[in-house]
């Protein structure tokens, strides 16, 4: 795939792309330039590096597409919206405008649930993901726990199509409804409830344009002065859903560490404990339903 236009060479285009994204303040300009190239070429990052070393180039049409996507990324449109994909644990999920892009810190929250199931030898657990968005948590549980029965609950009309697309092929039951008001038939039946609810307070508007302008408002703001109105209602619902001894894990902001522990205790959970994410920030809290 050689050609005579030097700017179309993958290595040259990468350097130019990295510089453009860095100038626009994109936090990981090199990785994003690479992932845009991979998307345009339909190849992995390892294959991209190989082709760069070989001196390969974009075709004219591919180069035009690369430049177009770079310009949109430089305008701080999230990479996941440009590629239509989000990576979460072992999965590639469908994402885009209208749904919250899954984050690496939520992978740790899923791991806490998996560790609990393994440590307690629960072979065929019943699990529910409250406030599912793309369905990242539910899909990860369904794909990593062979005999699990999993539910995903999402209220947003804009997000629910993504929840279904990512979860239903894995056998997850998707409920399009308020996660704080679930049918009584499910009460007392769950081994594990995980939630990454909206939790940002109204006065803490995120600075990053990707989050502030592109993640749905309904996914960000937890309502109430402290942003914890929805998390409180989710915790109360989680307690109703769990069987005695079942585990609830909830993600929250770093600064909400103490408030989250307090709200779980007030909801009636036992053994309330905070957990660090991979950068040692306190980003989730768990509790067990009393026996
Ligand atoms: C922070 S996002 C998390 C999405 C996904 N669980 C993840 O970790 O990537 C919160 C999600 O909760 C949904 N949501 C907000 N209020 C809800 C409610 N009362 N019932 C169900 N879902 C709700 C939002 O639409 C959004 O998809």
Whether residue 225 sits in one domain with residue 119? yes
Whether residue 149 sits in one domain with residue 19? no
Dist CA 72 CA 203 (whole Å): 28
Q: How confident is the model at residue 4 (pLDDT cuts 50, 70, 90)?
A: low
C-alpha 169 to ligand 1 mean position (Å): 20
80 domain residue, yes or no = no
Q: How confident is the model at residue 118 (pLDDT cuts 50, 70, 90)?
A: very high
24 domain residue, yes or no = yes
233 lines ligand 1 (CB under 6 A): no
At 118 the three-state DSSP class reads helix
Q: How confident is the model at residue 185 (pLDDT cuts 50, 70, 90)?
A: very high
166 domain residue, yes or no = yes
pLDDT at 2 over 80: no
For 120-138, give the secondary structure using H, E and C.
CCCCCCEEEEECCCCCHHH
139 domain residue, yes or no = yes
Out of 49, 75, 101, pick the residue that ends a domain: 75
Across the range 204-230, mean pLDDT stands at 95
Whether residue 102 sits in one domain with residue 61? no
Out of 51, 75, 99, pick the residue that ends a domain: 75
Q: What is the pLDDT of residue 6?
A: 87
Task: State the closest ligand 1 atom to the C-alpha of 179, by its place in the atom list counted from 1.
Answer: 20
Whether residue 203 sits in one domain with residue 69? no
83 lines ligand 1 (CB under 6 A): no
pLDDT at 1 over 80: no
Whether residue 108 sits in one domain with residue 42? no
The two structure tokens encoding residue 64: 């035009």
pLDDT single digits (tens) 72-94 = 999 999 999 999 999 999 999 99
Q: Give ∠ CA 270-245-140 in degrees, rounded to 5.
A: 105
Whether residue 24 sits in one domain with residue 110? no
Whether residue 54 sits in one domain with residue 27? yes
pLDDT at 3 over 70: no
Q: What is the pLDDT of residue 33?
A: 97
pLDDT at 221 over 90: yes
Range of the domain at 65: 6-75
pTM of the model: 0.95
pLDDT at 9 over 70: yes
Whether residue 120 sits in one domain with residue 190? yes
Atom 10 of ligand 1: nearest residue by CA position:
219
1 domain residue, yes or no = no
Out of 31, 49, 75, pick the residue that ends a domain: 75
Across the range 177-197, mean pLDDT stands at 98
C-alpha 27 to ligand 1 mean position (Å): 25
Across the range 111-135, mean pLDDT stands at 98
Element (H, E) at 233: helix 229-241
114 DSSP 8-state letter: H
Whether residue 280 sits in one domain with residue 221? yes
Distances (CA, A) of 25 to 30, 106, 235: 12, 24, 37
Task: State the closest ligand 1 atom to the C-alpha of 109, by its place in the atom list counted from 1.
Answer: 8
Q: Round the average pLDDT of the chain to a whole number and report it.
A: 96
Dist CA 198 CA 187 (whole Å): 23
Distances (CA, A) of 59 to 2, 3, 30, 227, 252: 9, 8, 21, 49, 45
pLDDT single digits (tens) 31-60 = 999 999 999 999 999 999 999 999 999 999
81 domain residue, yes or no = no
Q: How confident is the model at residue 5 (pLDDT cuts 50, 70, 90)?
A: confident
- Proportion of the chain above pLDDT 70, given as a percent: 99
CATH number of the domain within which 251 lies:
3.40.50.150
213 domain residue, yes or no = yes
- Proportion of the chain above pLDDT 90, given as a percent: 98
Whether residue 179 sits in one domain with residue 35? no
201 domain residue, yes or no = yes
**Residues 6+ away with beta carbon under 8 Å from 4:** none
Distance of CA 114 to the CA centre of its chain: 17
Nearest to residue 17, comparing CAs of 43, 36, 39, 41? 36
Phi, psi of 173 (to 5 degrees): -85, 120
Whether residue 257 sits in one domain with residue 195? yes
230 lines ligand 1 (CB under 6 A): yes
Whether residue 143 sits in one domain with residue 255? yes
The two structure tokens encoding residue 278: 């991979």
Q: How many domains does the chain have?
A: 2
């Amino acid at each position: 795939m050689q050609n005579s236009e030097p700017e179309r060479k993958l290595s040259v285009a990468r350097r130019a792309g990295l510089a453009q994204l860095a100038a626009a303040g994109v936090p990981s300009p090199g990785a994003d330039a690479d992932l845009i190239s991979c998307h345009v070429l339909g190849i992995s990052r390892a294959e991209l590096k190989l082709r760069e070393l070989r001196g390969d180039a974009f075709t004219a049409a591919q180069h035009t597409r690369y430049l177009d996507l770079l310009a949109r990324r430089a305008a701080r449109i999230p990479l996941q919206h440009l590629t239509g994909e989000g990576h979460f644990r072992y999965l590639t999920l469908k994402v885009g405008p209208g749904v919250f892009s899954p984050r690496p810190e939520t992978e740790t929250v899923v791991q806490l649930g998996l560790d609990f199931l393994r440590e307690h030898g629960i072979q065929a657990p019943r699990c529910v993901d409250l406030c599912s968005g793309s369905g990242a948590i539910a899909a990860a549980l369904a794909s990593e726990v062979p005999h699990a029965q999993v539910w995903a609950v999402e209220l947003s009309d804009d997000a629910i199509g993504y929840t279904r697309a990512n979860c239903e092929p894995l056998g997850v039951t998707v409920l399009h409804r308020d996660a704080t008001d679930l049918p009584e038939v499910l009460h007392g039946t769950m081994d594990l409830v995980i939630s990454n609810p909206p939790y940002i307070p109204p006065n803490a508007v995120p600075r990053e344009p990707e989050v502030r302008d592109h993640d749905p408002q309904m996914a960000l703001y937890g309502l109430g002065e402290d942003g914890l109105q929805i998390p409180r209602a989710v915790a109360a619902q989680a307690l109703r859903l769990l069987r005695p001894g079942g585990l609830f894990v909830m993600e929250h902001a770093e600064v909400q560490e103490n408030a989250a522990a307090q709200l779980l205790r007030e909801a009636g959970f036992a053994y309330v404990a905070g957990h660090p994410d991979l950068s040692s920030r306190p980003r989730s809290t768990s509790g067990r339903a009393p026996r």
